[in-house]
Amino acid sequence: MQMTTAELRSLMPSAIAWAKAQQRLVLQHGACLTESQLALAQLAGVRRPGMIRILVVPAIPMPEEKALRRAATNHLFPKVIHGLTLGYGIYLQRCAAHLRPLQAHEFRHVHQYEQYPTLEAGLARFLGDVRARGANAPHEIDARKFEGEIRAAMGTTDIPAVVRPGVWFSPV
């Protein structure tokens, strides 16, 4: 059953607090991009790729707070999640972190965040769209399109289906 807009609205303060805390962690502890990652981020349309930090983790973190965790698990996160972008902070799961199409997908989410004045503003839009349209939210379609272009350019269309980058919250 889909979440209602009222349910999502009531969760937004804790979702924003969680996203900000996660973003802070990634910006503090994450690595700068390599030369080839910088080039890929520029190709994705990121205006300030030097701001991006990547933190490689065994598993993408989930909210601890009960209601938010339930919403993330049941409605907002895809079943399999290898990446999560929060503004200029990107979590990548260790098993997939080296995959260029995954990096491309998440860089495109950074570009999308750059269209909004604040993390909150981007998050509100992306979460609202995920609530309504799931994996077919416009920002996910756009990120998958860029990811597909990179796969095609690499000549690798055979990335295992299990490697499905998450949304923003997938993460964006």
Report, in Å, the least distance between residue 76 CB and Zn ion: 12
Q: Which is nearer to Zn ion, 13 or 138 (CB)?
A: 138
| DSSP string for residues in 54-76 | EEEESS-----SHHHHHHIIIII
Report, in Å, the least distance between residue 77 CB and Zn ion: 11
Q: Which is nearer to Zn ion, 53 or 109 (CB)?
A: 109
Asked if 147 and 104 count as a contact pair (C-beta separation under 8 A), the reply is yes
Report, in Å, the least distance between residue 118 CB and Zn ion: 20
Instruction: Please give the single-letter amino acid code of residue 42.
Output: Q
Report, in Å, the least distance between residue 139 CB and Zn ion: 7
Q: Which is nearer to Zn ion, 4 or 63 (CB)?
A: 63
Report, in this order, helix, strand and coil percent for the chain, each rounded to 5.
55, 10, 35
Q: Which is nearer to Zn ion, 18 or 107 (CB)?
A: 107
Asked if 149 and 120 count as a contact pair (C-beta separation under 8 A), the reply is no
Q: What is the contact surface with Zn ion in residues (CB under 5 A)?
A: 140, 143, 165, 167
